[in-house]
Every structure is written in structure tokens, then in C-alpha cells.
A and B are shown apart, each in its own frame.
Chain A
């Protein structure tokens, strides 16, 4: 499974790319992460951005069972050189995260992976630097969440940018939390194993960490352009933002009626 192996360089980070959606799709539409976007599929942009992040040594793509064949075909075309494990996710985000963690659990227990990065494939614009930052912060503090504050400040963060635990962040309405999020691998795996034993289903990674782990979370300033593809308009915006990173497109001029 490992891509650029970390042998001789210490443990690496595992990227879990969530592309399964929420399981409530009507069944006949394409998963939005498989849509074309500026010459690639939405989800392979994240693979593109993380290709130069050498800290990432393992990559797991979590898809819906019905999307496995399509995802594998896209990977063969758009990320042919990257060693990626494809696993099937569940109906809930928590299930998909757990499926991804199980895929790297052996590497975590063997000490080959010390950080797990969880990223939503519907965020195709999270840049390489943000991945590097969350990995470094997770190694230093235990966990790292990027976020954008509505009022321009990250509330209730310590002066050094850290918090004792993450619970309040999820409840703070003024912070829009983004992905990629990174956590030390062993506590994260322990937390999800405990959640599995108790039948706990968290709404996101933070809720599981809050309940079953005691690690410090660092807050990082997220990127303004790190949008999540939710509305059709987001696809137009993403196309234009990608134009600035080398895909030549005009920067303006779409209308809605």
C-alpha cells in the first residue's frame, strides 16, 4: 500500500481521502467527487496537491462500493504512479473514516505511520502547504484542524494557537472547520476502536476524538479558497480558482437565473 516509503526516514503520514459522500444519494446521479473539474476529476485534485507532500507515505481512498470501479479507472488515468488503496466506505462519515483507518491500522501499529490526515475529497482546492501544516501541527500537538472564522479571529484559542480539547470548537458557530485535519495516528485509531466497541457514531472526526481521546488540538488558519463542492456554483468557482494555479481559464463571467 505504501507510496513513497518512509523507510529510513522515520514514520510517515497516512492520507485518508473521503469520497464516499453521505450515503443519501438518490442512486442514479454521479458522485460529485467523480465530476470533471478543470481537466481532472474532483477527487484527484487532492491527490495532485498531496503528491509533493513527501510526509505522506500511505494513501487510502474511501469510496462507495458502487463507485469502486469508476474510481479505480480514474486513478489509473489521472494518478497512475501513485500507490493508492481503495476501500469501501459506509453510509455515515464516521463509517468511512473507520474503514480508512482499518486500512492503515497495521502500518499504524507497526510504527510506520504516526499521523493520519483525513480529507474530504469534495474540497479539491486544499493546497500542499495546508497538508504540510496540519501534519506538522499534529506531530507537535496531537491534532490539527484548519478553520476560517466568520469574524476573522479564531475564538478561544490559546496564544500559541492550541486548545486543550476540541469539543468547544465544534460548538462554536463562528468557526467553519475545514479539512484536511490531522491527528496522531495511535490515539486516533484507539478512539475509533473504542467508538466501534461502544457503537458510537460521530458526526465528524472531532466528535470521536473529543469523546474517546485526550489530545491537544492545534487550530490553523484555513485557506479562503478551500471551498467544499456543495452548490453547482462551487464548481464554477473552483474552476476559476484552479485557473490561477495554472489551468488557464477566465476569472469571471458566469451568471445565474
Chain B
């Protein structure tokens, strides 16, 4: 899942249904911003950081099961993509942590 998504939602501040920018830390929604009025809604870091760490733990614990499922479903794609995925994971987590603490 990408770290930033965009979707049309109704802004609670300006009441317009317009694109909103959504920022994620891992699987968790971190903040949203209305592109019309800049209204920002965000999770407080004191809550987001422990939530992220807990979620990260769940992701790590469930990773073998998810990898196995993917290997069974698409063996060739899985094998071809495995080396790159192994290299990419630490980078991905580092990027998530950076965005988390920067926020």
C-alpha cells in the first residue's frame, strides 16, 4: 500500500466534497488533508507511535503466513520477486518510521 493516497471525501470544515490527501504509516492512517481548505485531521503521535509498533509486530508475526500464501498462489512471481522484497523491506520500514517521527 502506498504511503499517500488521495480520495474524494466530504470535508467536515468546508463541507465540500473534494479530494483529500491521506497519509499512512504502515497500515495505519496517519493524517488527512482537504485539498480545498487545507483542513488537517491527524492522529496524535503519542497514540500513533505505539499503535504503529503494535501493528508492525503483527505484520512481522503474520509475514511467514502471508509469504506462504503468496508462494502457493503464485510460485513463479513469488520466487522472482523474493530477492527484491527482502532488500526492500528494511527500506520500507525505515521510511515508515521516518514519516512517523517526522509527523
**A-B pairs under 8 A by CB, number:** 93
| Chain B residue contacts of A239, Cβ below 8 A | 28-29
Chain B residues engaging chain A, CB cutoff 8 angstroms:
1, 5-12, 17-20, 22, 24, 27-29, 32, 34, 39-44, 46-48, 50-51, 54-55, 58, 73
Interface of B is mostly: strand
Whether B10 and A230, one on each chain, are in contact in the complex, defined by CB atoms closer than 8 angstroms, is yes
Spot the interface stretch: A29-37, A101-109, A128-136.
A29-37
Give Cα distance in the complex from A254 to B50, angstroms: 13
Chain A nearest Cβ from B20, distance in angstroms: 5
Contacts of B17 in A (CB 8 A): 24
20 additional A-B pairs beyond A36-B24, A37-B29, beta carbons within 8 Å, are A25-B8, A26-B18, A28-B6, A28-B19, A29-B6, A29-B7, A30-B6, A32-B8, A35-B22, A36-B27, A230-B9, A232-B22, A232-B41, A233-B41, A234-B9, A239-B28, A250-B50, A253-B47, A254-B42, A257-B39
Q: Which residues of A contact B24 (CB under 8 A)?
A: 36
Q: Is the interface of A mostly helix, strand, loop or mixed?
A: loop
* Proximity string of chain A (50-77) to chain B, C-beta cutoff 8 Å, 1 when within and 0 when not: 0000000000000000000000000000
In the complex, A9 has a CB within 8 A of chain B: no
Of all chain B residues, the one with the shortest Cβ separation from A235 is: B29
Residue among A31, A80, A248, A253 with max Cβ neighbours from chain B (10 Å): A253
A28-B19, A253-B44, A256-B41 given as contacts; is B27 within 8 A of A39 (CB)? yes
Answer yes or no: A1 CB below 8 A from chain B CBs.
no
B7 CB contacts on chain A under 8 angstroms = 29-32, 34-35
User: From B70, which residue of chain A is reached at the shortest CB distance?
Assistant: A77
CB-defined contacts of A248 to chain B, threshold 8 Å: 54-55, 58
Q: Tell whether, in the assembled complex, residue A38 and residue B27 are in contact, meaning their CB atoms are under 8 Å apart.
A: yes
Q: How far is the CA of A239 from the CA of B22 in the complex (A)?
A: 14
Min distance, Cβ A177 to any Cβ of chain B, angstroms: 19
- Determine whether the beta carbon of B41 is less than 8 Å from that of A32: no
Tell me which of A32, A231, A250 contacts B12 (CB under 8 A): A231
> In the complex, what residues of B have CB within 8 A of residue A197's CB?
none
A/B interface sample: 29 pairs, CB < 8 A: A29-B20, A30-B5, A31-B7, A32-B7, A34-B7, A35-B7, A36-B1, A36-B5, A229-B9, A230-B9, A230-B10, A231-B12, A232-B11, A232-B22, A234-B9, A235-B22, A235-B29, A249-B28, A250-B47, A253-B44, A253-B46, A253-B47, A254-B41, A254-B42, A254-B43, A254-B47, A255-B42, A256-B42, A257-B40
Q: Does A212 contact B (CB under 8 A)?
A: no
Q: How far is the CA of A253 from the CA of B28 in the complex (A)?
A: 13
Say whether B41 contacts A255, CB under 8 Å: yes
CB-defined contacts of A231 to chain B, threshold 8 Å: 9-12
Asked if A236 is at the interface of the complex by the 8 Å CB criterion, the answer is yes
Q: In whole angstroms, how far apart are the Cα atoms of A92 and B6 in the complex?
A: 22
A31, B6: Cα distance in complex, Å: 8
Interface code A10-30, partner B: CB below 8 Å = 1, 0 otherwise? Answer: 000000000001001110111
